[in-house]
Amino acid sequence: MALAAIGAMAVALFLADAARPSQEIPLARFETFANAAQIGARVLQLADREVGFEYLQLDQEHFGYHRVVPLGFSGSDRLPVERSALTRWLVSHLRSHAASYTARGFTVRIRTERLRTEPGQAYEVVERAGQVIIRRVAAR
């Protein structure tokens, strides 16, 4: 009887977790103009109105661990994301020791998401269910 109750509880928890909507984590927001994007107080010139978002992705599939660390934006130039000294050290360490972390079951990747933008629009970068998405949003 106790095993049946534990099994029913496990199934209920699994279904509740599966039914929960995916949580979104905002990573950045920017607005576009003719051939530029304004990211905070800084301006990034764009080539062919295309903006890229570079990030480090750290995964450990067995435990479900997933972390995204923003690195920078790219267009005609590269505009790094301002980070603390600790975060800069962590990113540098993960990049230089990626092979040893892979041997321990972690995956360290540097990725870039790219999107062709339209002038006069606002965009946001979000992380949802382990994916980084750049999408248009209503201007504030």
Domain spans of the chain?
24-137
Give percent of the chain above pLDDT 70: 83
Give the per-residue pLDDT at 20: 60
Give the per-residue pLDDT at 23: 86
Give the per-residue pLDDT at 17: 60
pLDDT tens digit sequence for 56-75: 999 988 888 889 999 999 99
Instruction: Tell me the C-alpha distance between 96 and 73, whole Å.
Output: 21
Give the per-residue pLDDT at 94: 92
Read off the pTM: 0.79
Residue 139 pLDDT greater than 90, yes or no: no
pLDDT tens digit sequence for 29-49: 999 998 999 999 999 999 899
